[in-house]
Structure formats: C-alpha cells, structure tokens
C-alpha cells in the first residue's frame, strides 16, 4: 500500500469511498502492470505541495465568515501544475488531492506538458451573492500569489466556478504583479485572452471518444441512444454535440431530478429551459420525470455520468444496461464497479481520457496567452480532435497489447510517462 503521509485522515460514513484512496488504488494497479520501481511509486503517490489558506470574507450583511481554501500541487515533473478551482459544499482536502493526482496522469496521457493540481473551497456558491463570491475569489487568489503563476501553476474553472471567477483571479494576480498576465488562468472570457472553443471543450472531448468507441464497435453516432447524468457545462455540451451528430439523447438529469423521452429529447430546447429554471431540467414539457438512480439503469447504448464521483458502485453496477460508459465526471465509477462492468463486457471510457478535452483546450489557451497570438475556433477544435483521437487510439493499443481493461491501459500510459520523466530527471539533491 502506498503511503499518504502528507494528507490528514478523515472519518466519513462507512459507505463513503474516499476519492484519494481510490486514486492511489489506480496508481498501484498501474504500477504493478508496469513493474514500477517502489521508490518512484513512493514519490508519485504523494502530492508535492499541499496548501490550505484562511479566507476571511465580509458578507453583505456585515458578518465576517472565515473559509478554508485548498490548493494541492501533485507533480510538476512534466511542466507547470494545472487544475481547476472547485466551489462545492463537499470539497475536502483529500478529494482535491485525488483530483490533483488524476490531473497528473490525464495531462501525461494526452501528451501536454503539465503536472496535476486542484483547488477548492467548501461552499455552496448559490448561497452567496456575486459580490461575496468576488471577494472570496480575490482573497483566495491573493493568498496563493506565491504558489501560482503562468510558469508555476495555472488554475481553471471547475464545479461551481466559471469564466467569471477566472477573470477575477486573473485581475487580482495582474494587479499584484503590476501588468496583465493572461497566462495565469485558463477558461477566461474571450475579452481578456480566453480561447474560442473552451466552453464546449470537455463536452466535445467526451463526444469524440464516444464516437471513436462506437466506431470500433461498428456503429455510428446517428441513432445511438444516450443517457446523461448531469446537465452542467460538461453534460449539456456533450448532450448538444451528440444531438447535433444524430444521437438520441433519451434522458438527462440534474441534482434535483431528470427527464426521459423514449424518442429523444430536444436538447437545444432543454438547454433553454434549464437556463430559465435555475439549471434544472425538472418539469421540461413532452418528457417524463425520472430520478438520478433510475437514469443510471436505463437501457441505452451510451451512459455518460457527468455529475459527481461514486455514482456507479458495487450496489448498482449490475443494473447498468449501457454498452458504453463514458466518464465525463471525475471518478463516477468506483474501482469495484469498474471491475464488475468489465466482467459484463461493458466498455468504460475512463475519466482521465474521456473528460480530458477541457485541459487540452486549457493548454491551447495558455499557449495562445503566452504568445499573444489567438486562433479561430476551427483551429482549436482541430487541435483538440487530433490530441483526443491520438490518446484514445494509444489507450486501445495499450489495452490490446497488454490484455488489460481500458482504465488500466490509460493509467499505465499516463503513470508510465511521468515515471520515465522522473527517472530521467532524477532526484534533487
């Protein structure tokens, strides 16, 4: 068992599956397959830096609340740290640490020169005004000034944050260094150096790997029955792109519930409906209500969990009826559930591959920001297409060559590249 000495222990409920323990299990599985040196495994199993800062914020009513903000930097062997900032009540240090580790393997898998990082604050952004969120974001950024930078650590949006928060982060950093620094964050508005295609990037990446997997099965996207759990930025983008490609998206859900239509949902109309109803799809006309639990077990060709982690577990894996499960979220399928799905012949497209489109276009945005040369959306999408298809093909080849599941194949590629780089660079001093 790898050590995790840099992180505090938590005591959640017995049914809780710790994301960090699960991430370490994936690392160990890849290490066994690669016959990785134990010393290298020890280095890779621990984050390089764990930062927790105090964020005092004055609420609109004058009350001062003190929040805790985290930033975990897992590994910078291949390049600067990269990872999102998450605002969600369930944020914990170990969850953020797990996501930072996954980012390391994800970046290595798709061949971009980044290491993994992740940040977060345990708040429900819906309970804060825009002014309060701005004060929280700016204070959090100022506390991290020594730990982030365009060649050090480049944050991005994640659950609960958006281009708006990235604009505040960029401005705070820029004001403190005395000049505009567009490369400090990605996922920014276009007006201040954001990239065209970034908003749809993660969903587009999901669509691309689903299309390739269907093609390998001898099927087309046209007529494919798709179910999507989660209708935020990623889920809605994947839904729209698959709908435009001819797929039938028969069910979609948000945290408050979902909708089902046997003949397929009108996704553009559903997006408009959700925008007018606090991002909820509940009550959408010409569709039947469905719960999140029921949605995961619908008969379909492709199931896309695009919400939170630990959605498909040992308890419901035997009820999944999809042919392909594409992990648009981070860690929606547990390790044991993945094994159960593999045993039933269900293809699981792992998160470090399926949802890598976001970090790919973040990388392209960073490159544009550093060069001050900006591309049109067609070029961005072409670059994304190439990197995603190339990574998918390498995972398939690795899976066949080693006779291992796709997830293990993806991890052996990502972990193996970082391990090789660590071996080549050596240890300082």
Q: Catalytic residues, which ones?
A: 118
- Cβ neighbours for 96, distance < 8 A, ≥ 6 positions apart: 70, 71, 72, 86, 118, 119, 120
Q: Using CA atoms in the order 362, 233, 19, 302, what is the torsion angle rounded to 10 degrees?
A: -110
Residue 260's nearest CA partner among 280, 238, 278, 286 is: 286
Q: Which residues pair with 324 in a beta bridge?
A: 302, 347
Determine the Cα–Cα distance for residues 78 and 160; give it in Å rounded to an integer: 28
Handedness of CA 324, 329, 332, 335 (dihedral sign): positive
Q: DSSP code of 159?
A: T
Burial class (CB in 10 A: 0-12, 13-18, 19+), 49: middle
Q: Which residue shows structure tokens 């002014």?
A: 131
* Tokens encoding 238: 């994947």
Determine the Cα–Cα distance for residues 6 and 27; give it in Å rounded to an integer: 17
Determine the Cα–Cα distance for residues 426 and 422; give it in Å rounded to an integer: 6
Between the alpha carbon of residue 39 and those of residues 42, 120, 146, the distances in Å are: 5, 30, 29
Q: Are 111 and 121 in contact (CB under 8 A)?
A: no
Determine the Cα–Cα distance for residues 103 and 71; give it in Å rounded to an integer: 13
Determine the Cα–Cα distance for residues 405 and 350; give it in Å rounded to an integer: 10
Q: Which residue shows structure tokens 């604009």?
A: 167
């Amino acid at each position: 068992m790898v050590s995790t000495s840099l992180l505090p222990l938590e005591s959640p409920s017995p049914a809780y599956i710790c994301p960090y323990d699960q991430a370490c299990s994936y690392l160990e599985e890849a290490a066994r397959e690669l016959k990785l040196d134990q010393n290298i495994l020890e280095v890779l199993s621990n984050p390089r830096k764990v930062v927790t800062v105090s964020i005092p914020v004055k609420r609109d009513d004058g009350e001062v609340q003190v929040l805790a903000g985290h930033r975990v930097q897992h590994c910078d062997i291949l390049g600067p740290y990269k990872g999102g900032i998450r605002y969600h009540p369930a944020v914990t240090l170990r969850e953020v640490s797990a996501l930072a580790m996954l980012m390391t393997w994800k970046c290595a898998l798709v061949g971009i020169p980044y290491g993994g990082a992740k940040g977060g604050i345990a708040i429900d952004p819906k309970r804060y005004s825009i002014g309060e969120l701005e004060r929280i974001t700016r204070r959090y950024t100022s506390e991290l000034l020594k730990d982030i930078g365009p060649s050090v650590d480049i944050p991005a949006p994640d659950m609960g944050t958006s281009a708006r928060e990235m604009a505040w982060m960029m401005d705070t950093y820029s004001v403190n260094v005395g000049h505009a620094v567009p490369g400090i964050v990605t996922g920014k508005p276009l007006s201040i150096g954001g990239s065209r295609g970034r908003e749809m990037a993660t969903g587009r990446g999901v669509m691309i790997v689903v299309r390739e997997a269907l093609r390998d099965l001898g099927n087309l996207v046209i007529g494919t029955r798709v179910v999507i759990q989660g209708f935020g930025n990623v889920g809605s983008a994947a839904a729209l792109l698959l709908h435009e490609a001819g797929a039938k998206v028969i069910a979609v859900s948000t945290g408050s519930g979902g909708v089902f239509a046997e003949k397929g949902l009108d996704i553009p109309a559903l997006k408009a409906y959700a925008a007018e109803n606090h991002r909820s799809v509940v009550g959408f006309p010409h569709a039947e209500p469905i719960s999140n639990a029921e949605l995961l077990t619908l008969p379909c060709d492709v199931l896309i969990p695009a919400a939170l982690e630990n959605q498909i577990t040992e308890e419901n894996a035997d009820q999944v009826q999809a042919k392909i499960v594409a992990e648009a979220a981070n860690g929606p399928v547990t390790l044991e559930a993945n094994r159960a799905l593999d045993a039933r012949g269900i293809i699981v497209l792992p998160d470090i591959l399926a949802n890598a489109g976001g970090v790919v276009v973040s990388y392209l945005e960073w490159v544009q920001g550093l060069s001050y040369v900006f591309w049109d959306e067609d070029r961005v999408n072409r670059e994304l297409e190439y990197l995603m298809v190339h990574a998918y093909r390498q995972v398939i080849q690795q899976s066949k060559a080693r006779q291992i599941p796709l997830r293990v194949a993806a991890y052996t590629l990502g972990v193996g590249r970082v391990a090789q780089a660590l071996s080549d660079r050596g240890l300082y001093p």
